[in-house]
Structure 1
Amino acid sequence: MARILVAEDDPSVRAFVVSALSMKGHEVVAEEDGGLAAETVDARGGQFDLLLSDIKMPVMDGIALALHVGARHPDLTILLMTGFADQRERAHGLDALIYDVIPKPFSLADLLAKVDDALHGRPVEVVSLARQALQ
């Protein structure tokens, strides 16, 4: 499966995400802030398939982390998550850099579906239309 780096400052959300992705068979490394995640991705030479990061974090937020990772490891897919509408708006300025933004709170099914979509490079709009057609 995939190697995923998770950056999330909330311990309960981080544990939920790591548990969900690990149960799905992914190799997961988790950090509690963007600064540590930046150090980890650089130390491992960008050898991750996906960066899943919260936007609002101390030390280095998810936007700064996405800019850092995008500049140094442009092949790494970036998926952001946030519970703040204003933060989602900030992320949409990075459309060329990030895959998508997952709004919090999210369900286990939503998280796994969005991660799967990002890992397989399916455009968000196509996936949404396909799901609507199946309903």
Structure 2
Amino acid sequence: MARILIAEDEPDVLTFVVRALRGAGHEVEGVGDGSDALAALARAREANRPHDLLLTDILMPVMDGVSLALLASRDQSELRIMLMTGYSDQRERAHGLDAIIHDILLKPFTLDELVTRVQTVLDGA
């Protein structure tokens, strides 16, 4: 079981992802934007219960997923990070971030694809 933080501004997508990953046996927390995600990551570290994985949408208000990934990796270098997006042109924003981004999941995705790709990242493959 891994501790996973999801940052997604679309409530239906957030609910789907949280439920799917909880159903796969993970401890999952969901937030609606990047600034809330940074705060959740900090709280978890302070409580000595850091997250293992951050799964974030790229395009979000307040703070986007790329900015979130950069700040999160600075504060917690061992954190695995996955991005998700419904816009193929947004993938280009992650170009050059291979050192911190472990995978990019394109929307729409299936429950099986989500669970499999998350597990692959968690396993380090």
User: TM-score, structure 2 length as denominator?
Assistant: 0.95
Aligned equivalent of 2:84, options 74, 81, 84: 81
Aligned length, in residue pairs? 122
Pick one of 90, 113, 117 that aligns with 2:116.
Answer: 113
**After the TM superposition, which residues 1-135 of structure 1 pair with which residues of structure 2 at under 5 Å, given as runs?**
1-45=1-45, 47-122=50-125
> For residues 71-93 of structure 1, what are the alpha-carbon distances to aligned partners after superposition, in whole Å with 9 as ceiling and x for unaligned?
01000000110011121111122
Q: Matches of 1:36 and 1:20 in 2, distance apart?
A: 21
User: Share of identical aligned residues, percent?
Assistant: 52
Structure 1 residue 42 displacement after superposition: 1.1
Higher Rg of the two aligned structures: 1
Find the aligned partners of 1:92 and 1:28 in 2 and give their Cα distance: 27
Larger helix fraction of residues: 1
For structure 1, list consecutive stretches of 5 or more residues without a partner in the other structure: 123-135
Q: RCO greater where, 1 or 2, for CA within 8 Å and sep 6 or more?
A: 2
TM-score by length of 1: 0.88
Q: CA RMSD in A?
A: 0.9
**How big is each residue's C-alpha offset from its partner over 1:18-53, in whole Å with a ceiling of 9 and x where there is no partner?**
000011110001100001001110121170110000
Measure the CA separation in 2 of the matches of 1:117 and 1:54: 18
Distance 1:87 1:117 in 2: 22
